[in-house]
Structure 1
Amino acid sequence: MTEEVGSDTLQRIVRATLTRIGELDTVTDSPDGLIVSGSQGRVRAWAQVAPGGELSALRIEGAHYTPSRRRLRLPAPVTWATYLILVTVWNILTVWTAADRAAWLGDMATLAGFYVIVEGCGAPAQQPRLLRRTVEAGAVAALASTWRLPDLPNGNGVLRLAGGLALLTGSLWLVVAARRHRWRAPLSRPLQFPLVGTWYVVQGGGRMLNHHAQVPEQRGALDLVALGTLGTRTRRGRDLGAYAAYGHPVHSPCDGRVISAANTVQDQKPGEIRYQPPYGNHVFLDTGREIIKLAHLRPGSVTVRTGDTIHAGQLLGEVGNTGNTTEPHLHIHAERDGLGLDLEFTGIPERLYRGRAIHT
C-alpha cells in the first residue's frame, strides 16, 4: 500500500521501472493485468485507486513482460483429459490383447502403476466427476479380462512381466515417498486447523505433490479446497459461487500478532491469473517462534489489522480467490528464518499430502 511505503519509496520504484523500460508510452489492460509499455520494454503492474481518485496501492513486476504461454489454448478435443482417457483405453486394450499369461501379468502391473500415479498424484476429487469416474471404470474393464487367463498359454514374456513390475514398484515408491516426505523442520507447537467441514489437499507433500516446494519459505505449504456433497470441489458453472470453498470462514490457527493484513485486492476470475500481489488478501501472524501465513482471502472479509493481537480460533476472514490463484482455496504455510516448516494440526493425525481429505 502506498501509505505504508511512503511517497519517496513509490517515486523511487517508478523511476527504477522507467530506467528498465525507457520512456513511458502506454498503460493498457490485458488478461494478464496492467501492461506498462515503454520504448525499451514492458512490465506488468497492479494498482488500486481510492474513491477520491488517489493511487492507494501499486505493485510493479521486477522482470520484463512477455505474453503468458498459458493462454495458448489447444483445440477443445485435444486436452490433458483426452490424453488421460486415451492412455487408459490403450492400457485396457493392451491387457485384453495380451498373447500369454506372462504378458498379461506384465500389462496388468503396468496398468496398476498408471493408476497409482493417477490416483496418488492427481488429486482425483479436484477433477470433474465424469472424467474421474470414466478413468476409474477403466480399472473394472481391465480386471474383466481375467476370464481369458485359463485359455492363455504360459508364454515367455518374462521381460514384459519384469518391466511391468518395475514400473509398478517405481510408481509405488514415488507416491509413498512424496506422501511421507518431511522437511525435518517442525513447528514449535501444533496449530489449530483453520477451517470447518470437509477439506481436500490439492497441493501438499513432497516435491512431486506440491508445487510450493520450489519456493523455500513455502515448501511445507498446503492448498485446501472444500468438497461438496458429490465429493468434488465444484458445482455446475464457473463463477466463484460454484466452488464449495468460496466464502467459508477462516479462523486463526494460533495465538499471535498480525504483522501484515490486506483486504482490498479483488477476486480473480476462476481459471485465470492476472498480475496481483501473490498472496492477495491475507493475514500473516507472528507467534514469536514462527510466521504463519494465510492467503487468497475474499475481499472485504478480513476482520483484523496489522498490529492486532489474535487468539487461536478467532475469525480472520473468508476463503476467496485473490492473488496468485486459479480457483477459490486457502493457502497456509509456516516459516522460520525464511524456510518453510512441516505443518501439523491438533486432532489431525498422519501426514498431509495432495489427495487427502480432512474432516473437521
Structure 2
Amino acid sequence: MVELQYPFTGSWRVQNSPADRVPSHGTPLLGTSYAIDFTPVDGNGRSARFTLASLFRPEPPEHFVGFGRTVTAPVSGMVRAAHDGEADHAAFRGFPSIGYAAAQARRVREGWLGLAGNHVIVESAGLFVALCHLRQGSVRVRPGQRVECGEVVGACGNSGNSTEPHLHVQAMDSPNPQQASAVPVTFPGGLPRNGTVLSL
C-alpha cells in the first residue's frame, strides 16, 4: 500500500473508491483495481448546474466548476510519463447515447492512452502513480523530471474515458499499465468512501 497526499485543494467529491468495492472501476485491467476518482464541486457539492437538458445533451467541459483546477503531485519522485495533446471532449451526465457509447468503445480499443487521456505518471519508491484525464495543454512536466509532492503537474480536464471533468488516480508496480498490477492507495486520515466531499 502507498500513502498519497491529495493532489489538489478545494472541494472534490469521491467516486469509484476502492473503500467501497474492488476492483473499484469494475475491472482489474490496466492496473485499475484500486483506482479512485475525484470530481471537483462547488460549495453546494455540485460539479455543474444540472438542468433537464443535461439529461439529453452533451455539455461543454467549461461549464463545470473544476475544469482547469490545479492538479499537484501526490508524491515526490521522477516523472516517468507525461502525455498531453488529447482533446477535452464534451461531458455527458444524462441518458446513454449512441454517440458517447461509440466514442467509449473506440477509447477502449485504443488502450491506456484512449482511456487515460492526458496524464502524468510519477515513480516513487519503486511504485508508479498515475494522474489521468488532465486538461489539454495543461501538463507542466516531462519524463525524467524530478517533482516534489505538492508541485503543480497539470490541471483537471475531460480527456480520455471521462464523462465529466474529474481526476483519476491509481498506483501500479510498473510504469506500463498494460503489464502492471494495481497497488492499494490510501490518504492522510484513511481511504475516503464514495460520496464523501473533501474540502482541503
Identity %: 28
Structure 1 residue runs of 4 or more that deviate by more than 4 Å after TM superposition? none
Work out the CA distance in 2 between the residues paired with 1:220 and 1:321.
Answer: 21
Considering fraction of residues, name the structure with more helix: 1
SS in 1 for 2:31: helix
Residue 351, structure 1, aligned to residue 191, structure 2: yes
Code of the aligned partner of 1:343:
V
Deviation sequence 1:168-207 (CA, Å, 0-9, x none): xxxxxxxxxxxxxxxxxx12xx221101011111211243
Matched, 1:309 2:146: yes
**Separation in structure 1 between the aligned mates of residue 182 and residue 23 of structure 2, nearest angstrom:** 16
Contact 2:42 2:65 in 1 (8 A): yes
Separation in structure 2 between the aligned mates of residue 292 and residue 209 of structure 1, nearest angstrom: 17
Measure, in 2, the Cα distance between the counterparts of 1:209 and 1:340: 10
Number of the residue aligned with 2:96:
none
Alignment match, 1:235:
49
Alpha-carbon distance, 1:216 to partner: 6.2
1:87-98 pair list within 5 angstroms: none
Alignment of 1:211-226 (within 5 A): 211-215=25-29, 217-226=31-40
- Alignment of 1:279 onto 2:138: no
For 1:63-78, what aligned pairs fall within 5 Å after superposition? Answer: none
Instruction: Give how far 1:356 is off.
Output: 1.5
Q: How far did 1:345 drift?
A: 1.9
Work out the number of aligned pairs and report it.
Answer: 171
Q: Which has the higher strand share?
A: 2
Q: TM-score if structure 1 supplies the norm length?
A: 0.45
Is residue 245 of structure 1 aligned with residue 66 of structure 2? yes
Check the 8 A contact 1:203/1:209 in 2, yes or no.
no
Deviation for aligned residue 1:223: 0.8
Alpha-carbon separation, structure 1, partners of 2:23 and 2:41: 19
TM-score w.r.t. structure 2 length? 0.78
Of residues 24, 29, 40, the one that matches 1:210 is 24
Q: Pick from 157, 166, 172 the counterpart of residue 329 of structure 1.
A: 166
1:201 aligns with one of 8, 11, 14: 14
Quote how far apart the aligned CAs of 1:213 are.
4.5
Question: What is the Cα deviation at residue 351 of structure 1?
Answer: 2.8
- Structure with more contact order per residue of length (Cα contacts < 8 Å, sep ≥ 6): 2
Q: 1:294 to 1:212 in 2, by over 3 A?
A: farther
Cα deviation, residue 308, structure 1: 1.0
Does the 8 A contact of 1:258 with 1:308 survive in 2?
yes
- Structure 1 gap segments, 5+ residues each: 1-185
Counterparts of 1:13-162 in structure 2, within 5 Å, are: none
- 1:208/1:193 CA distance change after superposition, 3 Å: closer
Distance 1:313 1:212, change over 3 A: farther
Matched with 1:76 is: none
Indicate if the aligned counterparts of 1:213 and 1:220 stay in contact, CA closer than 8 A. Answer: no
SS where residue 306 of structure 1 aligns? Answer: coil
Matches of 1:297 and 1:231, distance apart in 2 = 21
Residue 263 of structure 1 is matched in structure 2 by: 84
Structure 1 vs Structure 2 CA RMSD: 2.0
Once the two structures are TM-superposed, the CA of residue 325 in structure 1 deviates from its matched residue by 1.1
SS class of match (1:278): helix
Counterpart CA distance in 2 for 1:336 and 1:208 is 17
Paired residue type of 1:250: V
Following superposition, the deviation at residue 217 of structure 1 comes to: 1.2
Match of 1:123 in 2: none
- Describe the superposition over 1:260-288 as per-residue Cα deviations: whole angstroms up to 9, x where unpaired: 11110111211236334211000011113
Residue 328 of structure 1: CA displacement?
A: 0.6
